[in-house]
Amino acid sequence: MCGRYVSATPPDQLARYFGAELMVEPPEEGDDKQAANYNVAPTQGVYTVYEAEGIRRLDTFHWGLVPFWAKDPKIGSKMINARAETIHEKNSYKRPFAKKRCIIPADGFYEWKKVEGQKRKQPMYLTTIDGSPFAFAGLWEVWEDQNSLDDAGEPLELYSVTIITGEPNDKVAPVHDRMPVMLPPDTWDAWLDRNNHDLNALQGFLVPAPAELIRLHPVSTKVNNVGNNGPSLIEDAGPVTDE
């Protein structure tokens, strides 16, 4: 699964990288650290690239997909990841897979590795070799809160996302048995196109990223606490011990 990741690149830079219209406030001039989050967790707002009215956009969505039919948005906390193998058949995911696909940018992500002889797992940080953002494959949905109305008397809307996970590559397999699906740039147009209904071809994108594109190193167990944040979380910390 993917339950924690890093989002440190400013949104205006992400918008340029993904060729998207920026829908959030850009950082103030000289403030490169605005909105940097080194410990992104479920139920938080996360940057999302999606298509609306034929325009590619970057906005902030709720992490934890809330199906349109849900009675309570809290269900989203159980839907932070969607398995690539079954998104075409699960009630929660087959509708957004057909027409609401997205990309969740990430500078890197964390996984926890079992260490022989140690009770505590070793947190690992995984990122790209060249420093470019990952493009996690995702799905998005809109949920209407019928009990809360806006100034126009319309139900308030919650935009939410889930990250698609699949089989690990050879680099990730020793750490975890799942990994986020990472989309290469030549698939972005087809993946985001809401008029593209070739689900078999889209399913073909959901494969492990090449192992040679990823590097990883151990990091401090401070990342285990979602209240901890900052660039020190991704520094190489050496192996964990039970001492």
> In this predicted model, what pLDDT tens digit does every residue of 123-174 receive, in sequence order?
999 999 999 999 999 999 999 976 665 556 566 789 999 999 999 999 999 9
Query: Would you call 2 a catalytic residue per the annotation?
Result: yes
Going from the N-terminus, what domains does the chain have, and what CATH number goes with each?
A: 5-234 (3.90.1680.10)
* Number of helical (H) and strand (E) elements in the chain, helices listed first: 4, 13
- Which residue carries 């009215």 as its tokens? 53
pLDDT tens digits, 83-100: 999 999 999 999 999 999
Catalytic hit among 2, 51, 102, 141: 2
Percent of the chain with pLDDT over 70: 90
Any residues with CB less than 8 A from the CB of 60 and at least 6 apart, and which?
23, 24, 45, 46, 47, 48
Does residue 6 come out as left (phi exceeding 0), alpha (psi in the -120 to 50 range) or beta? beta
Residue 53: active-site member: no
Q: Is the pLDDT confidence value at 45 over 90?
A: yes
Helices (H), 102-240: 188-192, 199-203
Contact 65, 163 (CB under 8 A): no
pLDDT at 20 over 50: yes
pLDDT at residue 120 greater than cutoff 80: yes
Catalytic residue among 25, 29, 53, 111: 111
pLDDT tens sequence across 192-222: 999 999 999 999 999 999 999 999 999 999 9
